[in-house]
Every structure is written in structure tokens, then in C-alpha cells.
Chains A and B, each alone.
Chain A
């Protein structure tokens, strides 16, 4: 079956005073209908920029999608004109953001903000839209929805606002929902509720979910398929159970090791040594080499490619290239 979303060789660059940063450097992946794909990585690895590139929201003129294709349904999102892209945005392709507190307009009432896409994409009349907005607020589990619809964002808590953001995103029954760190800014107890809600919506409507997070707990909870990004590239990907059971790339292993596990107490929590490389000083190499415990000569001078390793997993690491050569 044809995937719902197919990203091929996507490149996004940002120009800064010091030089050009390749924020997303040739990544490819796909999302099938009804599937949840998670993109994991440290901050600055390009996962948010990937989402923004898909939405056509990369800040110009500093940032620019410089190459690749994003096929969504029958359209290549990068080849659509602004008008066509707007018709898809917020309708079939919706997104929620990390900071619910600042993502809603402070001077417009909550109800108004939910009604906007309803009137725009579903062509509802004002009255119908208002009624539907109240219904959506109820669906995201907020009591007294009429009262909430008439209030302003600063009167609500962060958790409530993220529910409202979800209500806006799912209002037009999107085929794909992109959630960029949807729970990072929230309290732990609220996080679980928000994730539950996303899962419920996904199951009831059959939409796909592209979840961007740095939290492996969230990944384990939600994902069908996992993509691990590092410095603008995919270093490993695979089915969630396989990947968690047998991570191939040293970076993925490091990530999993640095995650505290319930019931297993260690003297000191593991952390990956070193820092993310400066994106301006990258040379052809494995970008993880200076933090890697298995660094070899080839890692410093040549870039490893993403290779299938059986079991549905892929990794970009010289360890496995070498192994294959020997086998």
C-alpha cells in the first residue's frame, strides 16, 4: 500500500552570520495510514525543523528547504503553491507545538481560535462553527466548554491550553497530525493525559501521528516506528520493539542507557560524554565519532550510510559496514 507520507532526501538550511547550517541533511522516511512514527533526538538535531519543513513554516529568508520531496497523499508539498499548501495545512495536515502557553493568540477568545479552521476548511457557518468548537472542547476533556470558549488563553493552565491546541489540530479530522514535543512543557501528570488523548483520537479517527520528542519514555509508550536523528541525519530507525530490544547505533544505545529504568538502581545514571557538534564545523565523517566509544579511523574521515540490518532495522554506522564486509 502507498504510504500516507513519504519524505525523500529532505534538505533544510539556515543561513547565519557565521555560515550556513544544514539543519536537516538529506533525511528520508515514511508514515503509513494509522501509524505512529516517533522522531527522537537531542535538541538541535533537526527534528523540529523536519516538521516545520513539512508544514512549509520554515522561517524565510534565513531558513530554506533546499532539496528533496515530501509526498503527502498525491501531492508533493514542496512543489505546491502557497494557496494549495494552505488548503492542506490545518485541514489534512495539522500540527501542535511545544509551548501551549505562547501558541495561542492572547487577544482572541479560545472559541474564536478553534472556529477559524472550521470556517476556513469545512466551510461551516459562524453559528455551526461555534457549536462545533464547544463540542471539540468537550471532546478534549474540559468541563464547562461554553465558558472556556468565551475565555482568553491567559485564563487557562498549560495543560488545558495544550488540550485546546489538540482540539484545534483535530478539528478538521486531519490525516496526519504532527506533534512537536507536545508534552515537554507540561507537568508529568498532565503529560500522560495528553498522550492518552492523542492515542484516543488516533484510534477513533484512524489518523497517523508523527510525534517528535526527546523523551524515550514517550517513544516506548506511543510509537510503532522510531527514527533516531543526530546532527541533521537519521542514524538509526526501526520497529519500536526491535529497536528497544536491540539498538544498533552507539548513539541509540547511549540514549537508551541514559534513560532511568524503574526498579533498577544504578550507582550513577549514564550520560553520553561530550556535546552535540557545532553544525558549522562538520566535515565528511560520522558526526557522532567524537562521542563514540567505538570510534575507528574510518569514522573520522568518511560518512557512514543508512544500511538495512535485517529485522526491519537500519543504522548508519561503520561498525556494521565492517561486519558486512567480513561476512
Chain B
């Protein structure tokens, strides 16, 4: 177990190094930078600023400096916002997390319930309806459904605010603030839940169908247990077990924000921060964000693997 783990960790670190080099090279070789785009500056001032930010050094040297700092926990300074990248992340990431956590929770809850029922009633009209719903959810263009719901529910019907986290100019506090945030997050949460629902429901449905065919389900019925007990005590636990591995894969989306949704709903999360910085070519921030996602992805995969081994007593190393 421990040699397996240390090998695994070593490989993770190597992959992250390689990924950082790749990402850095890509950003560095994209023509244009933060300063070029600023038309207010004179040519001399531009050269001066480049010198200060170290943008005129060769790519590899810049990468070396970035890496050295990154290893010391310093991901640099955002050029546009003049704040440390990590501090900016800390400011924005929790907004992203709020959206992601609520919608992930809802997605799982709804997916489990619908998945279990439609597996139990396989081939019924309900099941067919669920299958069509699953395909629909998996085929939605995220930005389009976001825009469509804003147009319908926020612009036309005016039930919900169209975007942002609080009403512009509002300085509500306490419960009023909470209420405002909840109103603003309803639409993005609905869209994110809808988008995640398809594949997860499908996963639980097919997992449950497999479990319901097992011998121990027959045993449970032979004991005279009610169908509810058979379903929720005997079958669901077994169907949920492999799903634990999915928790790890949720990691990037939980903390990495959602670029598209946050952009569409003007939600002040890291995803929107990234989009804003992208137009400005604010490389330290872009680099930091991309690395954050890469790290979360790698950690998530590791976590999944570990959870699976912990959860299922039958899997041994």
C-alpha cells in the first residue's frame, strides 16, 4: 500500500510539473500581453513596465522564476488587479464553492432518487421518460440553457434576478443579505444541477439495475422484507458504494468554479475572474487558475482511488 501510494504521489508531482511547463509555454507563446493591449501607455513606459514585470526575459527563465516562487507558495501578482493571485483566489473561490456545493448536493440527491425509482420500474413509462430526460440533460448546451432561462424567468417573467450575487447598489445585511444571495443563486444552481443530472442519474440507474439482479436481493425478498426495505436497505447501499469514487471527480468542479455558468450569470467566482483576466492577458492569474484546476484534477483522481479502496472491503491491494 505505501509503496503504491508513494509511486502514485511521485507520478502526480511529475505530471503536475509537466503540466505547468506546458501551460506556461502556451500562455507565454500566445502573442500579446497585458501591456501591449493597453493603448494609454507610451512605448517607453511599455518597455519599462515589461522590464519591471520581467516579461522581456526568455520563456524558460520566466518559467524558472515562476516555478521557484510557486514552490514557495507564491503564485505571483495579478497585473490587472495588483493583488497576489492567491489572495484573489481566496476572495473569489468561496463564491464558486457556494454555487458548486449547493448544486452538487441537489444533483446527487435528485439523481439517487430518480435513478433508484426508474431502475426499480425498468421499462415502465416513468423509466422511459427518465431516460429521455437524461439524454436531454446530457445534450444541453450549458451557455444556451443559461441564457434561455435568464430570458424567460428573469427578463420576461421577472421572477428572479438575471445575474450577479447581490442586487447592484444593495447594501443589505444579515438575513436580507442571505435572502438576496439565495435569490441570485437560484437560477445558476438550477442550470448547474440540470447539467449534472443527466450522467449521474444514468449512473445510479444502471448501477441499481445491476444490483437488483443480484442473488442477495432475492434473499432479502425471500425473508419477507417489504420492497421499500429491499430497495433502500439492501440495494441502495450497494449501488451507492461505487459512486463514492465519483466524489473525487467532483473536486475540480467544487473548487474550480464553472467558467461558463459564472460568466453567463455574472457570478463573482474564480471562473468569471478567469474570463475577465483572459481578455486582459493577465498571465500570472491565468497561470494560477489553470494550475489550480490541474492540481484539483490530479488530487481528485487520487482521492477517488483511495475512497474506493476504503469503501469496498473486497478490494485489496
Q: In the complex, are there CB atoms of A and B closer than 8 Å? A: yes
Encoded as 1 (CB less than 8 Å from any A CB) or 0, chain B from 130 to 153 comes to 000000000000000000000000
- Known contacts: A106-B238, A108-B234, A154-B314. The answer to whether A87 contacts B224 by CB under 8 A is yes
By a CB distance below 8 angstroms, the chain B residues around A82 are: 227
Q: Is the interface of B mostly helix, strand, loop or mixed?
A: helix
> Complex formed: what's the CA distance from A116 to B234 in Å?
11
Q: By the criterion CB–CB under 8 Å, are A90 and B215 in contact?
A: no
Which B residues are in CB contact (< 8 Å) with A97? 215, 218-219, 222
Chain A residues within an 8 Å CB radius of B219:
97, 103-105, 165, 168
In chain B, what residue has the closest Cβ to A82? B227
Whether A88 and B216, one on each chain, are in contact in the complex, defined by CB atoms closer than 8 angstroms, is: no
Asked if residues B123 and A105 are in contact (CB atoms below 8 Å), the reply is no
Interface assignment of A291: CB less than 8 Å from any CB of chain B: no
**Pair A168/B223 contact, Cβ less than 8 Å:** yes
- B238 and A91: CB pair below 8 A? no
Contact between A106 and B218 (Cβ–Cβ < 8 Å)? Answer: no
Q: Are A120 and B218 in contact (CB under 8 A)?
A: no
Cβ–Cβ contact B223 & A117, under 8 A? yes
CB pair B224–A107 under 8 Å, yes or no, is: no
Q: Is the CB of A154 within 8 A of B313?
A: yes
A55 at the interface (CB under 8 A from B): yes
Q: Are B216 and A105 in contact (CB under 8 A)?
A: yes
**A99/B215 in contact, CB under 8 A:** yes
1/0 per residue, CB under 8 A from A, across B221-257: the answer is: 1111111000001100110010000000000000000
Residues of B within 8 A of A106 (CB): 216, 238, 313-314
| Band of interface residues on B | 20 to 34
Report chain A residues within 8 Å CB of B220: 105, 116
Bound-state Cα–Cα, A120 to B221, Å: 12
Q: Is there an interface contact between B222 and A57, defined as CB atoms closer than 8 Å?
A: yes
Q: Are B224 and A86 in contact (CB under 8 A)?
A: yes
Contacts of B225 in A (CB 8 A): 86, 90, 116, 120
Indicate whether B29 reaches chain A with its CB closer than 8 angstroms: no
Q: Is A61 engaged at the interface, CB distance under 8 Å to the other chain?
A: yes
Q: Nearest chain B CB to A241's CB is how many angstroms away?
A: 32
B224 & A95 in contact (Cβ 8 Å cutoff): no
A57-B222, A89-B222 known; A105+B238 contact, CB < 8 A: yes
Q: Mark A85-127, 1 if CB is under 8 A from B, else 0.
A: 0111111001101010011111110000000110011000000
- Among A61, A91, A154, point to the contact of B224 (Cβ < 8 A): A91
How far is B223's CA from A91's CA once the two chains are assembled, in angstroms?
Answer: 7
Nearest chain B CB to A182 CB, angstrom units = 13
B213: nearest chain-A partner, CB-CB:
A59
Q: How far is the CB of B267 from chain A (nearest CB, A)?
A: 39
A14 at the interface (CB under 8 A from B): no
Q: Is the CB of A102 within 8 A of B214?
A: yes
In angstroms, Cα B167 to Cα A264, docked, is 96
Q: Would you call B237 and A107 a contact (CB within 8 A)?
A: yes
Q: Could you tell me the distance in whole angstroms from the C-beta of B10 to the nearest C-beta in chain A?
A: 32
Chain B residue at minimal CB-CB distance from A55 = B222
Bound-complex Cα distance A326 to B234 (A) = 61
When distances are taken between beta carbons in the complex, the residues of chain B under 8 Å from A116 are 220, 223, 225
| Nearest CB of chain A from residue B223's CB, rounded to whole Å | 4
Q: Is the CB of B218 within 8 A of A103?
A: yes
Contact partners of A320 in chain B: CB under 8 A: none
Residues in A lying within 8 Å of B, measured CB to CB = 55, 57, 61, 82, 86-91, 94-95, 97, 99, 102-108, 116-117, 120-121, 152, 154, 165, 168
Q: Which 5 A-B pairs have the closest CB atoms?
A: A90-B224, A90-B223, A89-B224, A102-B215, A105-B216
Q: Taking A91-B224, A94-B222, A105-B234 as given, write out 8 further A-B residue pairs in contact, using a Cβ cutoff of 8 Å, ordered by the A residue number.
A: A86-B224, A102-B214, A105-B220, A105-B237, A107-B238, A108-B234, A116-B225, A120-B224
Residue positions of B touching A, CB distance < 8 A: 123, 214-216, 218-227, 233-234, 237-238, 241, 313-314
Subset of 16 A-B contacts with CB under 8 Å: A55-B222, A89-B221, A89-B223, A89-B224, A97-B215, A102-B215, A103-B216, A103-B218, A104-B219, A106-B216, A116-B220, A116-B223, A117-B223, A120-B225, A168-B219, A168-B223
